[in-house]
Amino acid sequence: MEVFRILLNYIQRLLIPLLIVNIVGYILVVLKEKMYLKNNIIIIDNKHVTPQHLDKADLKEFIIDGTRVKAGDEIKIITKTKDKFEGILIGAIRSERAILMVTYKNEIKKLNVDNIIKFKIISRYSLFFSFL
């Protein structure tokens, strides 16, 4: 029984500092993201999105179907041909009346706004940080 108590004490002394480091790291990441949002910097962590894609999308925040969307939002789109796309919004191309998104299959899709039947926001990029 004494060995079990010593082992439990050892594990406790090991896990409490790890928990504290984990919480501090999480707080620092949240503050970093909040700083990025304050400076209008959006992180899209995908190796298939190139600077050319980001430059092509000239609108980073716009209104579609009465909904205000921003680059980095997770969206779901259904087109007139009943194709369904889910992914992260990169932006919109004003001259072509199209939106640019990266799907979860790492495909870059350019969808004409006129061909979209249903547009739904799954989650907003900055919603988590709105209360800070």
Same domain, 91 and 60: yes
Mean pLDDT, each 10-residue run in order, the chain (132 residues): 89 95 92 78 74 82 85 90 92 91 90 91 69 50
Tell me, yes or no, whether 36 and 59 share the same domain.
no
**31 and 55 share a domain?**
no
Q: Looking at residue 129, what is its pLDDT?
A: 53
Per-residue pLDDT, 60: 83
Alpha helices in the chain (DSSP H): 2-38, 51-56
Q: Which two tokens stand for residue 72?
A: 């980095």
Q: Is residue 33 part of a domain?
A: yes
130 occurs within a structural domain: no
To the nearest whole number, what is the mean pLDDT of the chain?
Answer: 86
Domain with 14, as residue range(s), is 1-41
Taking residue 89's Cβ as centre, other Cβ atoms within 10 Å add up to 26
Per-residue confidence (pLDDT) for residue 126, from 0 to 100: 60
What is the count of structural domains for the chain?
Answer: 2
Q: What is the pLDDT of residue 47?
A: 78
pTM for the structure as a whole: 0.67
